[in-house]
Every structure is written in C-alpha cells, then in structure tokens.
Structure 1
Amino acid sequence: MKQLKKIAVECRNIGLSYDGGKTEVLRDINLRVEPGEFFALLGPSGSGKSTLLRLIAGFNQHQRGQLLVDGKDITGVPPYGRNIGMVFQSYALWPHMTIWDNVAFGLVERRMDRATIKQKVGAALDLVGLTQYANRRPNQLSGGQQQRVALARTIVIEPQVLLLDEPLSNLDKKLRVQMREELRSLQRTLGITTIFVTHDQEEAMTTADRMAVMDKGVVQQLGTPAALFDYPSNPFVANFVGTTNLLPGHVDHVGGDVVRFRGNDVGEIRLPRHPDVREGPTAISFRPHTVRMVIGDAVRDPGYVWMDGAVEHCEFLGEFTRYRVRVGKATITADQAHYSGMSPFSERSAVGLGIDATQVRYLPI
C-alpha cells in the first residue's frame, strides 16, 4: 500500500458534559497531534481518554471548542464524513463473513469497482501478513490474527487518521508485546497519523512518539515518554507513568547549597539545592531503580543522601529484586539489579537507602 497523507489533529479548548452540564467529562482539552505522529492517550478507567477518541471519530459531540483535522474544523461532521478509521477494542468483525469480505466491506460500501477492491484488499492483507487466511472466518483465527484483520479493514479505506481504542487489551502478555511492535512498524510503513488509547503505561511508552496523560477529563501532562517519566509535572503523572516513591511534606529551608525537606512520614531529609525549589508544601519523587541499598552498617557512598530503614518485603522479579523498606512511617520501594550468585537482603534486616539527589523531583501538592 502507498504511504498515506500525513495530517495533523488538533483539539482547541474541547469541553464535553452530560446531564445538561452537570457531569463534566472533558475539560479544556488542548493538544495537537503532529502529521504522521504515533500519539498515545494514557490514563486510568474513567479518565476521558476513550471519550476523546470517540469524539475525534465523531461518535461523541463536544459542546465547547474546536476539533481540527488537516487544519479544517470538523465539529458537527458525522462519522461517515470524516475519513477517520477506528479499530475497536472488540475488533467488531462480521462473524458470518470471510476475512476477505470483512476487509472489503468498507470499499464495497463506497461502491468501488471490483478490480480496485481486489487490488486494495490484496495489498492490505499482504501488509498485515494474512493473505493465506483470506477465505477463513474470524472464529478460525487467533486473537492476534483477528486484530490484524481489524487493522486491515480500517487501513484499506485509506483514512486520514487511524484511531486505536485499546486494541491489545484482549491479548495475552507475550502476544501484546509482539503486536505492539507490529503496530509500530505498520504505522511507520504507512506514515499515517495515529492516536492510540491505552491504560497500560508500558504500551504507551514503547509505541508512542508523544503521549498525553489524562485524569478526570483533564490532560495532566503532554510530552515524550522519556520526558514524562523523567520530569513528571505532578504526583498523579509521577505515579501513573512508571513506579515511583512519593513523599509528601514541605520544604522549610532553602539556603546556601542545601534544601531541607521535612517529610510527613520520614522526618528531615537534606538535599542539594535545586534552582526550582521554593519553601512551602511539596512532595519529592524518586524512582525505585535509582535507590541504592546497603547493609545497615556498611560503608556509604557520600555522593548519595542516606536514610535508615528495615526490609519489610522482597519480590524476586528476574532482572531485579523489588524491596519494600520501612523508613519512619513511610514505605520506600527499591529495585536492585539481580546477578547470579547474589544474596538478597533478608526481611527485617536493617539497611541503608541511598538516594541519588540528581534523580529527585519536587512536585506541587
């Protein structure tokens, strides 16, 4: 198949409410998906991500703001007039039709001639690697193969935008990894602007060029996966994009080279001064893999900020062991890389936790 035209999708101050405005589902959504970009909407159930996707497809209508596709406001344009393709979570394949007929359905509805349909369906099936299954029915295929049929049926009509509503959620973990790689490769081959909804942060981070983290109908933060992981703008993003340690408290002193943070549950922690830190309520966040662990009385690297604790629980996860360590009234998670022959820290043992101050983030609360 030929590369499809790369176009932008833009939401300007989009607002959507139900019950006469009593239930606000989307609030002031402002984002721009660049031409040819693979963009993810990430958030928990009820965050508004699928509602926004359906709004772009035309199945929901916003009351406020503008929705622009290729620079044109398509607010009020019905779904069939938008030339936007959508792959549903359930795949929505016709069970009584062959794979060939499922893929051809949209072209038949557009009253294309037989030769064109044959050429386009053949190319779409070849692209997703299902040419040999053309005469089978959906119930004769695996879940991953059915997903490819749904993709082929969508891209065969050459949409301006491809929308994916949690298309991997029905697959087992191993197949999800394989299919997200195939999705990414297919999107790159076609060059089509793609918006992908998921609640799985690993899926979003491994496929998206950029993503928007949503909660309660609001875009909490926009950026590349690495930027959102390394520099979350608030506690929700820090907790949802990856695993983090989040210690609420307040900064009661900023002077010289020192920030004095007093945690609600861990007491005082002295950290090197950071240019963005101000006195007042805040939370500090740091990722488990950046924490260093030593036996309680071991020599400690002065390049780290140290806290004393006791191991409450440990989980061996193959590449690393995850420890839950009690520090004061708080619980700190520390991930330590595993190598064969290593002896894990035993439960109830006294340990020192070293925080790499360069990896600490200060978040508003």
Structure 2
Amino acid sequence: MHLNKVSLEARHISLSYGSTEVLKDVNIRIEPGEFFALLGPSGSGKSTLLRLIAGFNQHQRGELLIDGKDITGTPPHLRNVGMVFQNYALWPHMTVWDNVAFGLVERKEPKESLRRKVAAALELVGLQDYAQRRPSQLSGGQQQRVALARTVVIEPKLLLLDEPLSNLDKNLRVQMREELKNLQRTLGLTTIFVTHDQEEAMTTADRMAVLDKGVLQQVGTAAALFDFPANRFVASFVGTANLVQGRVTRVNGETLHFQADGLGEMVLPRNQESPGAGPASLSFRPHTVHIRVRDEHGDASRIWLDGRVESSEFLGETSRYRVRVGEALIVANQAHYSGLSLFPPGAEVRLGIEPTQARFLTH
C-alpha cells in the first residue's frame, strides 16, 4: 500500500463563531508526504483548523487547496480525507475486520479487492491475528491501530489525526509515536496531526505550526522553533525558556548593551538577528545556563550572575533549579550524575549565561 502524496495549502483562512474569531488569517503550506503538526494550547484553533480541512466546519474567508485545487465548498465525504478521532470511534459490536472494512463497504468496494485491502491494512499495523476480536478485547494501543487501519484502508489523500496519543499512558505514547512515524514513512501519506504536547510534536513532525488564539505564530522544524523562536509565546511554549524583559540601550560595533529588568546591564555580542535600541526580551534555555558555587570562577565567555537557590527539582537526567537573581527568577538545568548532590534551597550560587545561546525577542 503506497498512497498518493498531495500538498495542502491554507491561504488567508479566517473563521468566526458569531463575534468570536477562532482562526485569523492563517497561511500554511504543507508539502506532499510531510508529517506536519498543529501545536498550541487549548482554544488556540488547532482542532478547528483540522476539522476545517476534513470539511466538518467552514471558513468564512480564504481558500483551502489540496494539490492546488480549492476544496472550500466540497462536502466531507467527497474530499477523500481520512480522520482518526481522539476517542478512536470504533464500532463496539463489530469485529476488528469489520471495523476496518467499514469504509470500503460503504464505498461498495468489490469483495476480492476489499479482502485484499483490509488484510494489507491489518498487516501494516501488525493486527492480522486480531481480525476476529472486538474492540473491547483490545488494549488502548491496539484500538489506536485499528482506528489507523480503518482510516488508511480507504486510501485517503490526507491523513488527519486529532490528539492521537492523548488517551494512552506515557510509555505507550512513546512507543506509538515511533509506530506512527514509521507508518507514515511507509505510506508516504501527507499527515497532519493536532497536539498540545510539545514533546509529541517535536519527536514526530517534520515541521510544525504553532497557533495561539487563532493566530499562526511560527512554522518550521522543531529545532528551528526551539533555537530561533519568533516571539515570546513560541519561546515559552516550545520547550522551557527564561525570558528576561528589558531594553537595548546601546548598539556599537560587535556588542550591544541590554538593561535587564531587575538584573542590571548585560553586554552581549551582536549578530544579524540582534535588535536595535528599544524594548526587548532576552530568551535563553535552562540547559544552556551553568550553575556553580558562588566562589568558583567561571570562564570569561559567559555572563555570570550571582543568585540564591529558591527551589530544586530532581528530574532524573537533570536537576532543575529556580534561582533568584536580583528581582528575576532564572531556571537552570544541570546534568545529573550519580554522587552529585543537589544545591539546597538558600545556597549562594553563580549562573553563567552562554551569550551565543541567548536570543533577543521584540514581541
């Protein structure tokens, strides 16, 4: 089973319910065969956009194109788009085989072809031995696979997944993430999935779009969004970020001077992304911050700040500290090795910020 690869493009899509704008001028292009995530908090518009692609709701402005053809007025059953819902929506009274065959029966698929396609879909998800079971006799992960098989068996142009892993426990989620990725690679099917879980998006998607309050914030690979967030929202939603407000007071040659609220002046190297004078936020990730005892000298390439540990969390691979520096609270992660004891609350420490890993955000 190898399916068609199609592109999807949203051009200036806007949708309102009454006076509430749910999607505001959204522009995205998803490439043929791409595994694409729509990421955002509850109420960001990501599920609305997915349902709009499926045809379950209708935008008031803009165009929605599959392979360059506007499908705005096309009803759901004529779009040939497959959707897997969060709760799987399997028929409890039907066997796995009949659940998977359902869409083909509806389409009056000839018997021989139907048998061949259902068998291929079950084999694809590793459930060929479970064909005669009922959904209630399956685990959550197996039900998820049945829902996937039932969707891909109709050979859709697009596969849409709505929070596909949210009903599974953590270990199974990680396993199913791998399976989903492998299945998508095998099929080469353009796939769009909605999630509020940044880890899920970062580990599976080729690229992702971050939405907030119906507005598209940024599109790119996980690494691009993590390393070069477009704004404060993306910086804090994709991963964990320290955001220090302040203003750039002076820019000269190779350096700029940043007056950080509650922290005082920092002198940082200037690069092509550096802003001019004016209000800005400095963003840097906790794992790039060095933490050490107060009287230890650090290397001169870092910006060193003196602080006091307010709290610590042991996360296994890392220890996470919240450190009070002046009026600011800075989060620093330290890689954990056995025998390394935690800094206790109240400990006087120095934090080293790596300037090359810091980013200026102006909105």
State the TM-score, normalizing by the size of structure 1.
Answer: 0.98
2:4 is aligned with 1:11 = no
Matched residue, 1:240: 237
1:176-221 deviations in Å (ceiling 9; x for gaps): 0000100000000000000010000000000000000000101100
1:78-105 deviations in Å (ceiling 9; x for gaps): 0000000000001000011111100000
Matched residue, 2:225: 228
SS in 2 for 1:268: strand
Matched residue, 1:363: 361
Matched residue, 1:156: 153
Task: Check conservation: 1:259, 1:274, Cα contact below 8 A.
Answer: no
Counterparts of 1:112-191 in structure 2 under 5 Å? 112-191=109-188
Matched residue, 2:48: 51
Matched residue, 1:111: 108
Task: Check conservation: 1:42, 1:204, Cα contact below 8 A.
Answer: yes
SS in 1 for 2:320: strand
Task: Check conservation: 1:85, 1:155, Cα contact below 8 A.
Answer: yes
- CA distance in structure 2 between the partners assigned to 1:352 and 1:267 by the alignment: 15
1:90-140 deviations in Å (ceiling 9; x for gaps): 100001111110000000000011111111111100100111111111111
Once the two structures are TM-superposed, the CA of residue 346 in structure 1 deviates from its matched residue by 2.0
- CA distance in structure 1 between the partners assigned to 2:225 and 2:199 by the alignment: 13
Once the two structures are TM-superposed, the CA of residue 277 in structure 1 deviates from its matched residue by 2.3
Matched residue, 1:341: 339
Partner amino acid for 2:14?
Answer: G
1:34-81 deviations in Å (ceiling 9; x for gaps): 000000000000000000000000001001010000111001100000
Of the three residues 282, 301, 312, the one matched with 2:280 is 282
Task: Check conservation: 2:275, 2:362, Cα contact below 8 A.
Answer: no
- CA distance in structure 2 between the partners assigned to 1:112 and 1:303 by the alignment: 68
Once the two structures are TM-superposed, the CA of residue 273 in structure 1 deviates from its matched residue by 2.5
State the TM-score, normalizing by the size of structure 2.
Answer: 0.98
2:85 is aligned with 1:88 = yes
2:285 is aligned with 1:292 = no
1:225-247 deviations in Å (ceiling 9; x for gaps): 10000000100000000001001
Task: Check conservation: 2:47, 2:162, Cα contact below 8 A.
Answer: yes
Partner amino acid for 1:7?
Answer: V
- CA distance in structure 2 between the partners assigned to 1:66 and 1:360 by the alignment: 38
Unaligned runs of 5+ in 1: none
Once the two structures are TM-superposed, the CA of residue 258 in structure 1 deviates from its matched residue by 2.8
- CA distance in structure 1 between the partners assigned to 2:86 and 2:268 by the alignment: 46
Deviates more, 1:213-222 or 1:111-120: 111-120
